[in-house]
């Protein structure tokens, strides 16, 4: 025989076991799902921050936001300051209309917001690319503009990068730790689910052992059951990761510094993270059920 | 076929359930294992299927030295040593045919073999007309016949029976004993633990008596 009919038997057992206790099955999968979503999110955030900050290492920028009502004279002063500074490589003027277009794009889903705002309300700005990467010089340069009349605010990319680097590290570490805690909970839950399944099938197991079924034959359905739970939890975490990346994309759209937009990773990164998530789900499922089988099944 | 040499079994130090037990049962022999409850009968049977390991002494079953048998070889041993119990241990959600077929199925026999092997065994135990019945639709005697069929379909070298008639009335018990005798005549070694005096006295077979874990009698054609 009969590897074929034995394989068939093992798969039937897995299916029946999974359906035997639906509430426990759903609870276990939900736990795996939450933990793996957190885990995958932490990986994606780390990747996004790496991507965002690495790009900004090369060409640090800052933006000089003018008052919406700044006079031509005030603009002229800022321009001449930019033109004369040896530390400025180039700059680009961003009009109120440009800012308004960006604003409309950003809030295209919220007409109630955009209807009350006109181009006149938004600040024009100068996007500056310095010729040096020395952050002390850049900060001093930015400070010069803070004093200029008609300037509302100067945003420094370096500040953002530092904030982003510092906070994202903390956030992703926190998410990662949380995900590990929930993952351990998922492992224990799988351990118990399989323990319950073994208990429910103790009569069959006893008979199988008495007539000499192999340990492989008796144990495999339970280990597979745990692995399937882990895989399913991982599988439904994957759409969550794509959703998270899309949400992030919506959130950073229209970011004037184009810094945050780099936090959004492309779908290739989400897919490769998904493979890790699936693999981890399978490993957690196999481990949890393996421990349960080792604990509850004796010869 | 079965050989015990000075076998001891204890769960707690100094508290022996079995002590210095030695005997041999030849191929095709039929022997009773008698003794009051707690004398060690069930423990002895459990040693023979390696559900338990002897604390001391040697246990040989079907040519295998069980003290040295590796865990992964235990299933192979159990395919040659069948067990029936007082509580039958049938699967309630399977009909008669499936209960018997299950034994072959879980050791990896294919459908064609199963369809060939099961009907003659059900015929032997007199249950051909009840193949579709479920255990709860059968009498105690019929359930025990299914249990015996499930063991016999594996063509074991040895059949161990632990109080197989414990839940049955005398008439039904006699039928079950006839069945076990037939199986023994086919060449299967049968060792049956019981404390039913009537059966032992009627059959006049070899009697091994345990008392407080020690073998106190080994008598051919003995009574209870």
Complex-level ipTM? 0.87
Q: How far is B211 from chain A (nearest CA, A)?
A: 27
Residue from the list A203, A212, A215 with its beta carbon closest to the beta carbon of B107: A212
Q: How far is A21 from chain B (nearest CA, A)?
A: 17
Do A299 and B74 count as a contact with CB atoms less than 8 A apart?
Answer: yes
Q: Average pLDDT of B12-32?
A: 89
pLDDT in tens, B98-113: 999 999 988 888 889 9
User: What pLDDT is stored for residue A201 in this prediction?
Assistant: 86
Residue from the list B91, B106, B151 with its beta carbon closest to the beta carbon of A217: B106
Region label for B91, one of left (φ > 0), alpha (ψ between -120 and 50) or beta (otherwise): beta
Q: How far is A204 from chain B (nearest CA, A)?
A: 7
Q: Average pLDDT of A209-219?
A: 89
Asked if A62 contacts A155 with a C-beta cutoff of 8 angstroms, the reply is yes
User: What pLDDT is stored for residue A108 in this prediction?
Assistant: 56
Q: How far apart are CA B48 and CA B7, in angstroms?
A: 11
Q: How far apart are CA A294 and CA A102, in angstroms?
A: 60
Q: Average pLDDT of A74-82?
A: 90
User: What pLDDT is stored for residue B123 in this prediction?
Assistant: 93
Q: Average pLDDT of B43-47?
A: 94
Q: How far apart are CA B144 and CA B167, in angstroms?
A: 10
Do A211 and B51 count as a contact with CB atoms less than 8 A apart?
Answer: no
Q: How confident is the model at residue B176 (pLDDT cuts 50, 70, 90)?
A: very high
Q: Average pLDDT of B30-38?
A: 92
Residue A72, Cβ density class (10 Å: 0-12 exposed, 13-18 middle, ≥19 buried): exposed
Average of per-residue pLDDT values in chain B: 92
Q: Which of A77-81, A245-249, B83-87 has the lowest mean pLDDT?
A: A245-249
Q: Average pLDDT of A109-127?
A: 75
Do A6 and B77 count as a contact with CB atoms less than 8 A apart?
Answer: no
Which residues in chain B are contacts of A214 at CB distance < 8 A? Answer: 75, 107-108
Q: What angle do CA B100, B104, B105 make, to 5 degrees?
A: 100
Q: Which domains does chain A have, with CATH numbers?
A: 3-53+162-296 (no CATH), 61-156 (3.30.70.3040)
**CB-based contact (8 Å) between A16 and chain B?**
no
Who contacts A217 (Cβ-Cβ below 8 Å, separation ≥6)? A6, A9, A10, A208, B106, B108
Residue from the list A5, A207, A213 with its beta carbon closest to the beta carbon of B75: A213
Q: Average pLDDT of A128-138?
A: 79
Question: Is A192's pLDDT higher than 50?
Answer: yes
Q: How confident is the model at residue A55 (pLDDT cuts 50, 70, 90)?
A: very low
Residue in the structure block whose two tokens are 């882990």: A230
Question: Checking DSSP bridges between strand B206-211 and strand B189-193, what pairing results, if any?
Answer: unpaired
What is residue B18's three-state secondary structure? strand
User: What pLDDT is stored for residue B23 in this prediction?
Assistant: 94
**CB-based contact (8 Å) between A212 and chain B?**
yes
Which residues in chain B are contacts of A12 at CB distance < 8 A? Answer: none
User: What pLDDT is stored for residue A57 in this prediction?
Assistant: 46
Q: In the A/B pair of chains, how many CB contacts fall below 8 A?
A: 68
Q: Average pLDDT of A1-16?
A: 72
Q: Which of A240-254, B124-138, B210-224 has the highest mean pLDDT?
A: B124-138
Cα A50 vs. chain centroid, distance in angstroms?
Answer: 12
User: What pLDDT is stored for residue A89 in this prediction?
Assistant: 85
Percentage with pLDDT > 70 across chain B: 100
Q: How confident is the model at residue A130 (pLDDT cuts 50, 70, 90)?
A: confident
Q: Average pLDDT of B182-191?
A: 92
User: What pLDDT is stored for residue A61 in this prediction?
Assistant: 64
* Residues constituting chain A: 299
pLDDT in tens, A266-296: 788 889 999 999 999 999 999 999 999 988 8
User: What pLDDT is stored for residue B30 in this prediction?
Assistant: 94
Name the residue in chain B with its Cα closest to that of A217.
Answer: B106
Alpha-helical segments (H) within chain A:
3-20, 22-58, 72-84, 96-106, 111-114, 135-147, 157-200, 202-211, 215-252, 267-296
Q: How far apart are CA B143 and CA B130, in angstroms?
A: 11
What distances in angstroms separate CA B96 from CA A68, A189, B86, B121, B135, one per listed residue?
89, 37, 18, 11, 7
**CB-based contact (8 Å) between A299 and chain B?**
yes
Q: How far apart are CA A90 and CA A108, in angstroms?
A: 31
Residue from the list B83, B89, B107 with its beta carbon closest to the beta carbon of A213: B107
Question: Is A107's pLDDT higher than 70?
Answer: no
Higher-pLDDT residue of A297, A165: A297
Residue in the structure block whose two tokens are 């004037």: A256
Do B108 and A2 count as a contact with CB atoms less than 8 A apart?
Answer: yes
Asked if A220 contacts A10 with a C-beta cutoff of 8 angstroms, the reply is yes
């Amino acid at each position: 025989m009969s590897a074929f009919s034995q394989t068939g038997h093992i798969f039937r057992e897995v299916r029946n076991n999974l359906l035997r206790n639906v509430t426990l099955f759903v609870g276990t999968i939900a736990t795996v799902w939450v933990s793996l979503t957190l885990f995958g999110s932490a990986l994606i955030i780390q990747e996004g921050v790496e991507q965002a900050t690495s790009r900004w290492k090369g060409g640090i920028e800052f933006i000089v936001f003018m008052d919406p009502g700044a006079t031509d004279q005030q603009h002229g002063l800022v321009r001449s300051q930019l033109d004369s500074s040896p530390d400025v490589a180039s700059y680009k003027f961003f009009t109120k209309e440009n800012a308004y277009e960006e604003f409309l794009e950003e809030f295209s889903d919220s007409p109630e917001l955009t209807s009350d705002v006109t181009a006149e309300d938004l600040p024009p700005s100068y996007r500056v690319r310095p010729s040096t990467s020395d952050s002390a010089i850049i900060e001093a340069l930015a400070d010069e503009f803070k004093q200029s009349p008609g300037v509302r605010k100067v945003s420094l990319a370096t500040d953002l990068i530092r904030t982003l680097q510092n906070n994202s590290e903390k956030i992703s570490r926190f998410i990662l730790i949380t995900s590990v805690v929930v993952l351990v909970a998922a492992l224990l839950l799988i351990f118990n689910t399989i323990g319950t399944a073994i208990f429910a099938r103790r009569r069959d197991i006893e008979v199988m052992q008495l007539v000499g079924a192999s340990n492989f034959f008796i144990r495999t359905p339970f280990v597979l059951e745990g692995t399937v739970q882990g895989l399913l939890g991982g599988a439904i975490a994957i759409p969550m990761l794509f959703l998270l990346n899309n949400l992030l994309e919506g959130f950073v759209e229209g970011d004037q510094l184009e810094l945050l937009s780099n936090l959004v990773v492309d779908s290739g990164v989400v897919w490769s993270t998904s493979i890790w998530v699936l693999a981890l789900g399978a490993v957690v499922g196999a481990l949890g059920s393996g421990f349960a089988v080792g604990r509850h099944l004796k010869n | 076929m079965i050989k015990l040499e000075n076998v001891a079994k204890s769960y707690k130090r100094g508290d022996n359930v079995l002590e210095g037990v030695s005997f041999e049962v030849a191929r095709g022999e039929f022997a009773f294992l008698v003794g009051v409850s707690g004398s060690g009968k069930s423990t002895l049977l459990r040693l023979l299927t390696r559900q338990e390991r002897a604390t001391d002494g040697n246990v040989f079953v079907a040519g295998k030295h069980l003290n040295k048998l590796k865990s992964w070889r235990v299933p192979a041993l159990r395919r040659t040593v069948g067990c029936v119990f007082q509580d039958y241990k049938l699967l309630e959600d399977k009909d008669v045919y499936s209960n018997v077929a299950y034994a072959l199925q879980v050791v990896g026999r294919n459908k064609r073999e199963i369809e060939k092997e099961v009907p003659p065994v059900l015929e032997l135990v007199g249950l051909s007309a009840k193949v579709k019945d479920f255990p709860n639709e059968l009498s105690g005697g019929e359930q025990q016949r299914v249990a015996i069929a499930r063991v016999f379909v594996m063509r074991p070298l040895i059949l161990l029976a632990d109080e197989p008639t414990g839940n049955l009335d005398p008439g039904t018990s006699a039928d079950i004993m006839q069945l076990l005798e037939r199986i023994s005549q086919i060449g299967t070694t049968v060792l049956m633990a019981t404390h039913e005096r009537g059966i032992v006295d009627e059959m006049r077979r070899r009697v091994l008596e345990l008392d407080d874990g020690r073998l106190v009698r080994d008598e051919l054609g003995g009574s209870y």
